[in-house]
Structure 1
Amino acid sequence: MSEVQQAFEAVVTQIEHDPAFADIEVVTHSIGRRGAGLALTLTIDRVGGVDIGSCERVAAHVNDALESCPEPYSLEVESAGLERPLLRPGDYQRFAGKNARIVTTLAIGGAKTHRGALRGVVGTNVELHTPSGTLPIPLAAIRSANLEYDPRADLAANKRERKRNG
C-alpha cells in the first residue's frame, strides 16, 4: 500500500471518530487509479443534507493530511445523494419510514427486487412494508439497497411542515 493510500485510510478513520466531524457520516470511500496517480473518492452524508461547505470542509481536512505525500492523487468528496446506499444495519433503522429498493441474492416472496417503506431491523431481518404486507428480508441476503426518492411524498411532507410552522 502506498503512502497516499495509508494516509487516506488513516484520515478516513479519523474523520469517522473526530468530534469536529460529528455531523458527517462517511458512507463509502475508495481508492483507484487515474493516469499516473491515485483517484481518492469519499462519499459522505449529513443529517439535513450535504452542502458544498460540508464537502469543502472534508476535502480541506483530507488534503491537509495528505500534504506531505509525494505521490500524485486526485480527491473527490461527494454527497451520498437522495437515493443513498444502505450499507449497515443502522442505516435501515435510521431511515425507517423512508422508501427503499432492496435487491437480494435469493428470491424472497418470489422476487429478488423489493420496494417499500423501511420499518427497521428486527433480529437479523430488515422489515420492509410493501403493498402486500410486511416482508422480512435477511440482512445476509441483501445484495444492494438504497433509498428511493419520492418527490410527491417529499412535497406532501414539506406542505405539512409549512402548515405546522404557520
Structure 2
Amino acid sequence: MQLTDRIAETIEPALAAMGYEIVRVQLGGGHNRSGHSATLQIMCDRLDGQALTLDDCAEISRLASAVLDVEDPIAGAYTLEVSSPGLDRPLTRPKDFDRFAGCEARIELRLPVDGRKRFKGVLRGLEGETVLLETGDGPCRLALPDIEKARLIPAETGPGAPAAAARGQRARTNARTNARTNA
C-alpha cells in the first residue's frame, strides 16, 4: 500500500465523522530522507454537497494534524495543505464520473487508444469500469483503469469571463509545518 493511501485510510474515519470526504491525497517534495521538507496535500469535499469553505479547510487541517500527530505515518517534517477540489476539480473516484455526468471534462490516458491519449467532452457517466464521454467526434468509452488524469473543465462564470479565470480559485489553508523526529 502506498504511503498516500495509508494516510488517507488513517484520517478518513475522523473526517467522515465530521462530515467530510477525501478527494485526493498527494505527498510531494522531498520525502525527508534528503533533508527537504515534504508537502502533504489533502483535497476534501463536504458530504452534504455544500461548497467547502475556508473555515472547513481550517477544521480539516486541525483534525488531520491531530490524527497524523498520533499515527505519525510521515518521517520528518512536512507542510500540510488542505484544499477544496476547486472549479477544475480532479475526478479521482469512480463515483465522480457519475456525479458530474453532464459536465465537460478533460481526460488523459496512460497509453494511447487509437493514437490518442487526451480526450475532451461531456461526461455521460460510468458503466461498470467504463467512463462514457461524448466528444466532438462522437461517443467514447474509456476504461477507468487506463485513465491517468481526469479533471472538470469549468463552465463560463459570467458574460465575457473565460473559464481559465476561474481556475485555481479554491479555498486553501496552509497548516503548520509538523516537526517530526525519527523514533
When normalised by structure 1's length, the TM-score is 0.72
Residue in 2 aligned with 1:107? 112
What do residues 26-77 of structure 1 show as CA deviations (whole Å, max 9, x unaligned)?
Answer: 1112345465655332111233322101101101212333456696443211
Structure 2 counterpart of 1:49, one-letter code? A
Which stretches in structure 2 are left out of the alignment for 5+ residues?
A: 160-183
CA offset at residue 116 of structure 1? 0.5
Q: After superposition, what is the alpha-carbon deviation per residue over 1:88-141, rounded to whole angstroms, capped at 9, x for unaligned?
A: 211101111111001113333542111011000112210001122211111122
Q: Of the two structures, which has the highest relative contact order with CA contacts closer than 8 Å and spacing of 6 or more?
A: 2
Cα distance, 1:109–1:71 mapped onto 2, change above 3 Å: closer
* 1:29 equivalent in structure 2: 25
1:140-155, aligned counterparts within 5 Å?
Answer: 140-151=145-156, 154-155=157-158
- Taking a change above 3 Å as real, the CA distance of residues 9 and 27 of structure 1, as seen in their structure-2 partners, is closer
Describe the SS at the equivalent of 2:18: helix
In 2, the alpha carbon distance for the partners of 1:60 and 1:113 equals 38
Q: Does 1:92 align with 2:97?
A: yes
**2:104·2:120 contact (CA, 8 Å) conserved in 1?**
yes
Alignment of 1:51-130 (within 5 A): 51-67=53-69, 72-130=77-135
| Aligned-residue CA RMSD (Å) | 2.9
Cα distance in structure 1, aligned partners of 2:39 and 2:115 = 40
How many residue pairs were aligned?
146
Instruction: Answer 1 or 2: which has greater helix percent.
Output: 1
Q: List alignment gaps of at least 5 residues for structure 1.
A: 157-166
- Distance (whole Å) between structure 1 residues aligned to residue 8 and residue 105 of structure 2: 30
**Cα 1:64/1:140, change in 2 over 3 Å:** closer
The structure whose Rg is larger is 1
With normalisation by structure 2, the TM-score equals 0.66
Mapped partners of 1:58, 1:136: distance in 2: 36
